[in-house]
Amino acid sequence: MERTVLEHMGIALLVALILAEIAVIATSVYLHRGLAHRALRLHPVTDGCFRTLLWLTTGQSRREWVAVHRKHHAFTDRVGDPHSPRLFGFWHIQLWNVYYYAREARNPDTSRTFAPDIVEDWLDRAVFSRGVTGLALGIGLLCLVFGVKVGLAAGLVHAVLYVFVLAPLEGTMNEQIVRMGRPAHALMRVAATGIYLLRGVRLELPRAARGRAVIDGTTLHQVRLEGLGEYAAGTWTPRAGDKRSAA
């Protein structure tokens, strides 16, 4: 019995949602926490699985992604931030984040400066550096398993979800929350603490920020941005007077 158009659309949407969720988890756990922030260490087999999943679902280079993300932390919402919603506007980044990412990723100085620890191995050179091939293979597998129409539709919806919705959303949400004003500050502090814990950021960093702002004669926001930039680059270290200042 042939499937109806609605059934095809339902299957394609379900498959696309699953693929987008897989890609987001791989991006968050592997690229973000594992590589960019070094918050966890993965078994080589797990590492290989994540690289394969990202190759098939996004075609991204892990070194380029890490470099762009670390540069974003180093220049958060300042000149030099590759994709700041504060500088370029919420919807501009939400819809065109892929352009800003690709533009920065093509800059070889960005990878050399912000991702010197991500060394290309033989798998990168032979397989994972060929992003278009990975995407083509991923779409081919979808067509083989679900049929050409469903496979192409699922691949298209997944690409739209990942590129234009899920990937840029995390970076732009903070800007929207800031615009809510003082009533949201307490909620922001609780949420920020949760994010620090989830991403493995040492709590000494936000705790020391207030004292450092006073000592350095700058703003709390600026100290936090600089601290996160140093943390992303692996250069942040506690100061002798941090505990005393935080108290």
DSSP string of the chain, one letter each residue: -PPPHHHHHHHHHHHHHHHHHHHHHHIIIIIIIIIIS------HHHHHHHHHHHHHHT---HHHHHHHHHHHHHTTTSTT-TT-HHHH-HHHHHHHHHHHHHHHHT-HHHHHHH-TT----HHIIIIIT-HHHHHHHHHHHHHHHH-HHHHHHHHHHHHHHIIIIIHHHHHHHHHHHHTT-GGGHHHHHHHHHHHHHHTT--THHHHHHHHHHHHHTS-HHHHHHHHHHHHHHT-----TTHHHHH-
What are the tokens at 125? 């050179």
Cα 4 to chain centroid distance, Å, stands at 38
Q: What is the pLDDT of residues 30-68, one digit of tens each?
A: 998 899 888 888 899 999 999 999 999 999 999 999 999
Q: Note the pLDDT of residue 45.
A: 94
Backbone angles phi, psi at 55, to 5 degrees: -65, -40
Closest among 143, 168, 167 to 155, alpha carbons compared: 143
Give residue 145's pLDDT band: very low, low, confident or very high (50, 70, 90): very high
Residue pair 154/147 in contact (Cβ under 8 Å)? The answer is no
CA dihedral for 67, 73, 74, 77, sign (positive or negative): positive
Q: Note the pLDDT of residue 245.
A: 40
Q: What is the pLDDT of residues 160-200, one digit of tens each?
A: 888 876 665 554 444 444 444 444 444 445 445 554 444 45
How many beta carbons lie within 10 A of that of residue 216, not counting itself?
11
Give residue 127's pLDDT band: very low, low, confident or very high (50, 70, 90): very high
Q: Note the pLDDT of residue 61.
A: 92
Give residue 232's pLDDT band: very low, low, confident or very high (50, 70, 90): low
By mean pLDDT, which of 55-59, 143-147, 199-203, 236-240 is the weakest?
A: 199-203
Q: Note the pLDDT of residue 82.
A: 87
Alpha carbon distances (Å) from 237 to 189, 222, 232, 240, 244: 22, 17, 12, 10, 16
pLDDT at 91 over 50: yes
Q: What is the pLDDT of residues 13-27, one digit of tens each?
A: 999 999 998 998 899
How many beta carbons lie within 10 A of that of residue 121, not counting itself?
10
Task: Tell me what the mean pLDDT of segment 111-118 comes to.
Answer: 91
| pTM for the full predicted model | 0.67
Q: Note the pLDDT of residue 15.
A: 94
Q: What percent of the chain has pLDDT over 90?
A: 37
By mean pLDDT, which of 7-11, 74-78, 186-190 is the weakest?
A: 186-190
pLDDT at 85 over 50: yes
Residue with tokens 């969720």, as numbered in its chain = 21
Q: Note the pLDDT of residue 150.
A: 92
Closest among 31, 61, 63, 65 to 47, alpha carbons compared: 31
